[in-house]
Structures are given as C-alpha cells and as structure tokens.
Amino acid sequence: MSLNPKLADWNGQRVWLIGASSGIGEATARRLMQRGARVALTSRNHEALTALADGHAYVAAADVTDRASLQAAFDAVRAEFGDIDVAIINAGTHQPVRAWELDAAVAEKLVQVNLVGAINATALLAPYLAQRGSGRIAITASVAGYGGLPTGLVYGATKAALINFAETLYLDLAPKGVAVHLINPGFVKTPLTDLNDFTMPALIGVDEAAREILAGIARGDFEIHFPKRFTRLLKILNLLPYRAYFPLVHRITNL
C-alpha cells in the first residue's frame, strides 16, 4: 500500500526542481517537460538552466547554500505559477574521500551542499505546504546513506542524515496532507560518479533514473530506490552484524 497519495497525471503539475542543471536533475526536468508539467528550474548555473528550459520551463537560478537567493527563487516560482504542487530537492555534490585524505574544507562543502542545502529548501517548503494542507516534497539522498562504504566518508554521512531527515519529515507532514518522497539512487552515470575510480555495480543512465523517480512519485512511494537488483542487496547487507558487514564490504568493493 502506498504511503503517499498517488499522482494520476503529470500534465499541468507545477513542479519546482532544485538541482536541475546536470545529471539526474537535468534528465528529470526533460521528462517532466515531455509529460506536460509546468516546470521551474533552479541551480547555480543560470546559463545551463536557460539552455535546458529552451522556452518551455521557468528559470529561477539560486544557490541552495545561500538562503537569500533560495528565498528569492521560491518567491519567484510561486509568483510565476501561483502555487507549487511538487518540489524535488535534488541539489548535491560528491567528492570521494578516504580517511587518510580527509580535509575539513572539502567535508564542509559536502555537508553544506548536500545536507544544509536540502534543509534550506525544505525550510521554505514544509511550513508553506503544511499550512496549505497539500503538495509533495521529494528529497534525493542515496543508497550510500544505508551504511558506511569506502570513499564515501563524508558523502555517505550527508546522505544518511538526509534519509533520517526525510523519514522524520514524513512523520510530521503526512498527517497534514503533504506527501514526502525519499529518493535513494544506486550508481547513476553522471559527472559526479565519473569521479569514482572503482567499478560501480549495476550502473544505470540518467534517463532510467529519471523514469524511476517520476514513476515512484506517481505511485505514491515513500522510498524510491533503484535499480532494485542492486539496492535490495544493499538493504540485506545492512541487516548483517558489523562482524559480517565490514569484511563483506571490503571483499565486495576491493577497497
């Protein structure tokens, strides 16, 4: 049974997509526009957003780590559309980090973009949608948040925090009529995952990821995880005691 109301048709839905200029966000934006949604695109890269919109979407550039610019984008989207039906918070960055390479400045950037940025956007949306008593918030985390993995020293921690954040958000907002979706992709080929120097199992393209995200929201799923041939194995792996989990992770990743 779906934990959120189903969405029958994307046509005419007013969607604010944050983190839209590349990768999964860009592919999701294209698919939304193809399905007739009214789409507002946000990221720091105004030029990329304008090219992506091509006259078919509204551009509201902002930096998720800058609350003033994000507030301006939020106000502009509402003024343009009259309301927001679906917000997809997809902004994020990635940097592989091993313990012996840990740098506080790199770690702070990852936390600010991945975690604080998502909280900044949600702080605008959650009170607004709760007062209205309808709408949807979808937050992109990652299966890297399920458990510790080599090279994910800080990235994985931000995604684990987002998983907990989305779970708690659901507990608060679902009784008020607001749907919450948690998006946990596996490995998706993007400029960010191109930074990884290891073989990524079950690697998929951005178009498949976008299709999974929109289908999961339409079904009313709380957690939207994919590809399931990989994510289900990770879920099982994270049920194991640490004395089994740690050796298996080393063996599987060869790291």
Residue 253 has what pLDDT? 87
Is the pLDDT assigned to residue 199 strictly greater than 90?
Answer: no
Does residue 91 sit within a domain?
yes
Residue 191 has what pLDDT? 83
Does residue 86 sit within a domain?
yes
Is 155 annotated as catalytic? yes
Is the pLDDT assigned to residue 130 strictly greater than 90?
Answer: yes
Check 155, 170, 242, 245 and give the catalytic one.
155
Does residue 62 sit within a domain?
yes
Q: What is the pTM of this model?
A: 0.95
Termini Cα distance of the chain: 39
Is the pLDDT assigned to residue 194 strictly greater than 80?
Answer: no
Is the pLDDT assigned to residue 83 strictly greater than 90?
Answer: yes
Instruction: Report the percent of the chain where pLDDT is more than 70.
Output: 100
Is the pLDDT assigned to residue 197 strictly greater than 80?
Answer: no
Number of structural domains (the chain) is 1
Does residue 116 sit within a domain?
yes
Given pLDDT bands bounded at 50, 70 and 90, which one contains residue 10? very high
The H or E element spanning position 136 is strand 136-140
Q: Write out the residue range of the structural domain in which residue 126 sits.
A: 14-253
CB atoms near residue 204 (< 10 Å):
18
Q: Distance between CA atoms of 173 and 214, rounded to whole angstroms?
A: 20
Does residue 6 sit within a domain?
no
Residue 25 sits in a domain whose CATH number is 3.40.50.720
| 3-state secondary structure at position 218 | helix
**Token couple for 51:** 């090219």
Does residue 9 sit within a domain?
no
Is the pLDDT assigned to residue 202 strictly greater than 90?
Answer: no
Residue 255 has what pLDDT? 86
Average pLDDT for the chain: 96
Does residue 188 sit within a domain?
yes
Does residue 85 sit within a domain?
yes
The H or E element spanning position 138 is strand 136-140
